[in-house]
Amino acid sequence: MSNTDNSCSVCKGVGTILCEDCWGDAQIDCHECHGSGTIDTETENPVVCPTCNGTQVINCPHCDGTGRTRCFRCTGNSVEGK
C-alpha cells in the first residue's frame, strides 16, 4: 500500500485543522485593548482602540479569521508528504 492511499493522521483526511489561536472562533481578544474596545490615555479620556476599532476582537492572526488552518502534515491535500 502506498503512502498516497492513507489519510493524513493530523487532519484525518479533511485537509484542515482548527486554528490553534482561536480554536475555530475566527477571532481573538484584541491584544492592544485586551478586549475592552478602548484604550485609557494619560488624560483619563479613553479612546477607541485603533487596532480593533472598538469591536474588542481582531481576526485570528494564525487562521486569518477563517477559524481553520491547513493541515501542516498533508498541506491541506489530505495526503501526508504531498
Domain chopping of the chain, boundaries: 1-19+66-82, 26-59
How many residues belong to the chain?
82
Q: Give the DSSP H or E segment for 31.
A: none
* pLDDT score of 43 more than 80: no
* pLDDT score of 1 more than 60: no
- pLDDT for the residue numbered 19: 83
pTM: 0.57
**pLDDT tier at 2, thresholds 50, 70, 90:** very low
Instruction: State how far the Cα of 37 lies from the Cα of 52, in Å rounded to an integer.
Output: 7
Instruction: State how far the Cα of 17 lies from the Cα of 12, in Å rounded to an integer.
Output: 9
Mean pLDDT of 11-28: 83
How big, in percent rounded to 5, are the helix, strand and coil portions of the chain? 5, 20, 75
CB 40 within 8 A of CB 74: no
Pick the more confident residue, 77 or 71. 71
